[in-house]
Amino acid sequence: MYNCGPTVYKRQHVGNFRAFVTADLLRRSLEYVGFDVTQIMNITDVGHLTEDDLVDSQGECKLQKEAALRQMDPWQIARAEEKNFKDDLALMEIPPAHEYPRATEHIPEMIEMIEILLSKGLAYEVDGNVYFDITKWPKYGALSGNRLDELEAGASGRVDERTDKRHPLDFSLWKIDPKHLMQWDSPWGRGFPGWHIECSAMSRKYLGDTLDIHTGGPDNKFPHHECEIAQSEGCTGETYVRYWVHCGWLEIGGRKMSKSKGKLYTVPELLELGYTGRDLRMLMVKQHYRAPLPFDLELLDDAKKLRVKLNNFVANEMSRRPEGPKNDQIQTVISEARLKFEAALRDDLNTSVAFAVIHEFMTAVNRLQPSQLDALQVVEFMRELDSVFGVIDPVTEADALDGEIQQLIDERIQARSERNFQRADKIRDDLLARGIELVDTPQGTEWRTV
């Protein structure tokens, strides 16, 4: 599996992380159903231009532009932002990919592919600039549903009309720009690679001519992935990717979250507001990965509450004290839930159904009132399911006790509101018998050990 990774010129905002969480969810799901997965995610540290929605990206190199703004060396920015990205992955409970190849460290592989494309007549060189001849690849647009004539008409006034191109939509494989700070020697002169050729070269080096799965954000589908297909299949003559997986946008007010629209939170900023990486994961995985996902702090609060519910359930099961024989119904409920959960994952990662299965399972367990031995099985199964989602906190015995007490306090508050004072008093007395005293204060009910 190859995942389009970050362009390391700024800290990634949470909108970027939807693609990375989707890739992680896919890897976890594949491993859950028994596949061995090799995951490669690239680091783009050169060549990604600011206007990247055109077939041939235009504008400034994002890294070079940022270097000018910060008055820093672009290499230093790239390494610093790569570290920030990996730190944020850890905060989001995303395990590392097997490799993070950097574009700047794979220039020879890119040059090799460009030379093959030139030898096949699929590319041409003009004064050191090398372009892919888009008219030689009639399949261009098959992934995104775009047609060349429509692209040319729709991009009128925006496409690069340089006279050294045979067709205005031909895209760059190698660029010559004396002002660019990051340059390498090549057969066509000193320059730097186009953005698209980087992923073709790096994916080929680590995963071969044909990839099982290639993921990315919705903005990667066109033009980046279309160009990858043309380059890679033109070079090797083999199918490039068997399955493409693109997630939906993270949206603010119904519009794509981007650097030009709305407040863009980073992961550390959300942590400073009291959220966790798992809260953000919950928001992103509970809805189908291809659907647009609205984002605001109220929705993040809702995701946090769902996580609290899961965590309390696990904590309560860990704290169960009743002894007794195993209840065969518990194992039956686990087996049925496992089959339904796996079926949901196999149905195009239908996470909303998968979470419904989890909630159904929790309800069934609560109804059966398992013994301590049964509860251990329940907790183990919840951990199994969470190996896919990564949203349940590690729970110690002390945490479990806290969760159980809080649940009883909530139950007592509910009983008192219903004027069921007999039940409320019994909860208080049972806790006191265990050495836990409840204290009602104007701010709410607190507890302490006695």
DSSP characters for 41-95? E-BB-S--EEETTSSS-EEEEHHHHHHHHHTS-HHHHHHHHHHHHHHHHHHTT-P
Same domain, 201 and 308: no
pTM, entire model:
0.84
User: Regarding predicted confidence, which is higher, 162 or 316?
Assistant: 316
Residues 422 and 384 in one domain: no
Pairing of strands 58-61, 123-126: unpaired
Q: What is the DSSP string of 266-315?
A: BHHHHHHTT--HHHHHHHHHSS-TTS-EE--HHHHHHHHHHHHHHHHHHH
- For the chain, what is the mean pLDDT? 89
Q: Average pLDDT, stretch 271-287? A: 96
Stretch (H or E) spanning 216: strand 211-216
The helix (run of H) or strand (run of E) holding residue 19 is helix 14-32
Of 247, 275, 298, the last residue of a domain is: 247
**Within this chain, do residues 225 and 340 fall inside the same structural domain, yes or no?**
no
User: Which pLDDT belongs to residue 384?
Assistant: 96
Residue 312 sits in a domain whose CATH number is: 1.10.730
Q: What is the largest CA-CA distance in the chain?
A: 90
Same domain, 151 and 213: yes
Identify whether 259 is part of a domain: no
pLDDT in tens, 291-300: 999 999 999 9
pLDDT of res. 222: 92
> Which among 30, 40, 398 is positioned nearest to 208, based on CA atoms?
40
Identify whether residues 328 and 427 lie together within a single domain: no
Distances (CA, A) of 108 to 114, 115, 185: 10, 11, 10
CA-to-CA distance for 417 and 103, rounded, in angstroms? 63
- Tell me what pLDDT residue 161 has: 57
Across the range 146-167, mean pLDDT stands at 69
What is the spatial order of strands in the sheet that 255-256 belongs to?
255-256, 250-252, 293-294
Q: Looking at residue 401, what is its pLDDT?
A: 60
160 — pLDDT class (breaks 50, 70, 90): low
Query: Quick one: 207 and 277 in the same domain?
Result: no
Whether 30 and 98 map to the same domain: the answer is yes
Across residues 11-32, what is the average pLDDT? Answer: 96
Structural domain total, the chain = 3
Instruction: Name which of 216-230, 353-367, 378-392, 400-414 the model is least confident about.
Output: 400-414
What residues make up the domain containing 6?
A: 2-247
The reply to whether 283 and 152 lie within a common domain is no
- Report if residue 138 sits inside a domain: yes
Establish if 262 belongs to a structural domain.
no
- pLDDT given for residue 385 in this prediction: 97
Q: What DSSP string runs through 410-424?
A: HHHHHHHHTT-HHHH
Give the pLDDT score at 137: 94
pLDDT tens-place string over residues 37-91: 999 999 999 988 777 777 888 888 888 888 888 888 999 999 999 999 999 999 9
What is the per-residue pLDDT across 232-242, written as a single tens digit (0 to 9) for each? 999 999 999 99
The predicted structure's pLDDT at residue 281: 97
**Which residue type does 181 have?**
L
Is residue 322 predicted with pLDDT exceeding 70? no
The answer on pLDDT for 260 being more than 70 is: no
Choice between 159 and 337, residue whose per-residue pLDDT is larger: 337
Kindly state whether residues 311 and 214 are assigned to the same domain: no
